[in-house]
Amino acid sequence: MARVYNFSAGPAVLPESVLKKAAGEMLEYRDSGMSVMEMSHRSPLFMDIMNETEELLVRLMNIPADYQVLFLQGGASLQFAMIPMNIMTANKTFDIIHTGAWTKNAIKEGEKLGKVNVLASSEDRMYAYIPSFENLKFNSNADYLHICYNNTIYGTKYNTLPDPGNTPIVADMSSCILSEDYDVSKYGIIFAGAQKNIGPAGVTIVIIKKDLMKRADKNLPSMLNFNVHAENRSLFNTPPTYAIYMSKLVFEWLRDMGGVKEIEKINRHKAALLYDYIDNSKLFKGNVDKEFRSLMNVTFSTGSKELDALFVKDAEKKSLTNLAGHKTAGGMRASIYNAMPVEGVQHLVEFMKKFEVEHA
Residue ranges that bind ligand PMP, judged by CB under 6 A: 10, 75-77, 102, 148, 152, 172, 174-175, 193
Q: Are 60 and 260 spatial neighbours (Cβ–Cβ below 8 Å)?
A: yes
The percent helix, strand, coil of the chain (3-state, each to 5) is 40, 15, 45
CB of 75 to ligand PMP, least distance (A): 3
- Asked about 102 being catalytic, the answer comes back as yes
Beta carbon nearer to ligand PMP, 174 or 322: 174
Q: Which of 172, 209, 270, 308 is catalytic?
A: 172
Q: Is the peptide bond before 84 cis (omega within 30 degrees of 0)?
A: no
CB 76 within 8 A of CB 65: no
Minimum Å distance from CB 310 to ligand PMP? Answer: 26
Q: How many C-beta neighbours within 10 Å does residue 231 have?
A: 11
The DSSP bridge partners found for residue 169 are 145
Shortest spacing between CB 51 and ligand PMP, in angstroms: 24
Report the C-alpha gap between 158 and 151 in whole angstroms. Answer: 9
Nearer to ligand PMP, 202 or 284 (CB): 202
Which CB atom, from 283 or from 298, has the smaller least distance to ligand PMP? Answer: 298
Q: Please give the helix or strand (H or E) that residue 310 lies within, else none.
A: helix 305-317
* Nearest to ligand PMP of 194, 254 (CB atom): 194
For the bound state, the minimum distance from the C-beta of residue 243 to ligand PMP, rounded and expressed in Å, comes to 11
87 close to 210: Cβ distance less than 8 angstroms = no
Give the nearest residue (CB) to ligand PMP: 75
169-172 sheet: strands from edge to edge:
67-72, 204-209, 189-193, 169-172, 145-148, 93-98, 115-121
Residue of 104, 196, 248, 270 marked catalytic: 196
- In the chain, DSSP assigns E strands to 5-6, 67-72, 93-98, 115-121, 145-148, 150-151, 156-157, 169-172, 189-193, 204-209, 285-286, 297-301, 320-321, 332-335
Toward ligand PMP, which CB reaches closer, 80 or 351?
80
Pairing of β 145-148 and β 115-121: unpaired
Select 39 or 246, whichever has its Cβ closest to ligand PMP: 246
Single-letter residue type at 118: V
Q: Please report how close the Cβ of residue 333 comes to ligand PMP at its closest, in angstroms.
A: 11
Alpha helices, DSSP H, located in the chain: 16-24, 44-61, 75-87, 101-113, 210-213, 226-231, 241-256, 259-280, 305-317, 342-359
Q: How far apart are CB 178 and ligand PMP at their closest, in Å?
A: 14
Catalytic center residues: 102, 172, 196
